Amino acid sequence: MSLPDKKVSDNENNSRFLMKYAALGTQLLISLGLAVFAGLKADKWFKFSFPLLGWLLPLVVLLVILYKIVKDTAPKK
């Protein structure tokens, strides 16, 4: 009976990892979308001729989220 129990726990473990990475990917996409939207709105509000904040804000958000993903997925000591 230990074989089916082990298989169920492996499936649960794989499912947890899948959900964790799916959540991180969703967070990345939504954050980048909001950063682009906010950056373009801020460019219109400041009346910049070049979409400066439309480029910089998503870049900053991307760097912060990549740091968070690396920190969250690093092996625990």
CA 53 to chain CA centroid, Å, is: 20
Helix (H, G, I), strand (E, B) or coil at 74: coil
Give yes or no for residue 77 having a pLDDT over 80.
Answer: no
Residues 1-60: tens digit of each pLDDT? 445 555 557 778 788 888 888 888 898 899 999 999 999 999 999 998 899 999 999 999
Q: What is the reported pTM?
A: 0.72
Percentage of the chain exceeding pLDDT 70: 90
Angle between helices 2-46 and 52-73 (to 10 degrees): 160
Sequence spans of domains, the chain: 2-73
